[in-house]
Structure 1
C-alpha cells in the first residue's frame, strides 16, 4: 500500500527585488520568513488580494513578516516580489 500524502505544495520562486531584500536579513529574520513561505506554498490563497492587481499580501503579525506575491494560473508556482521581516 502506498503512503498517504498531503496536498501538493506549490513551488516558490523569488524575483530579484525579493532576493536583494533577503540578502539583508539576519538568520533569525530569515527563519521567520521561511515559516511564512511554507505557509504560502501550502495555501497560496492565504494572503489578502491587493485591489486591481494579481498580487496578494500576506502579513504574519506574530512573526512580523510580510510577503507580496502572486500565483501563476495553474497555481503550481508562487512568485514572491517583496519580503519584509
Structure 2
C-alpha cells in the first residue's frame, strides 16, 4: 500500500531585501542551511514564533534552526504563501 501524501507545502517567495541577501550567498554550507530552514517553514508555516509588533499587517514570524545556526524572518499570506523577509546567520 502506497503512503498517503501529506498536506501541500507552502509556496516560498522572497522580499526584495531577502532576494538581495541570496545574491551574496556563495558557500554550499550556507545554501544547505537556508534550504533546510525553508523546507521546515514550507511544511509548517506556523512553526516559527510570532514577533510582537503591529497587528495591522501580516504577523511577522521567525524560525530559528539551532542545528544549522540560521534564522529566517517571514510572514504568511492569507493564501498560505510564505514570504521570506530576511535570512540571518545566528
TM-score, scaled relative to structure 2? 0.84
- What are the ranges of 5 or more consecutive residues in structure 2 without an aligned counterpart? none
Question: Equivalent residue for 1:55?
Answer: 60
Partner of 1:45, secondary structure, is: coil
Note the C-alpha offset of 1:2.
Answer: 8.2
Tell me, in whole angstroms, the C-alpha distance in 1 between the residues paired with 2:34 and 2:22: 9
Question: Equivalent residue for 1:28?
Answer: 29
- What are the ranges of 5 or more consecutive residues in structure 1 without an aligned counterpart? none
Partner of 1:62, secondary structure, is: coil
Question: Equivalent residue for 1:38?
Answer: 39
TM-score, scaled relative to structure 1? 0.88
Question: May I ask how many residue pairs the two structures share in their alignment?
Answer: 84
Question: Equivalent residue for 2:82?
Answer: 78
RMSD, aligned α-carbons:
1.7
The one-character-per-residue Cα deviations of 1:6-38 (angstroms, maximum 9, x if unpaired) are 111010001111111112222210111100000
Question: Equivalent residue for 2:4?
Answer: 4
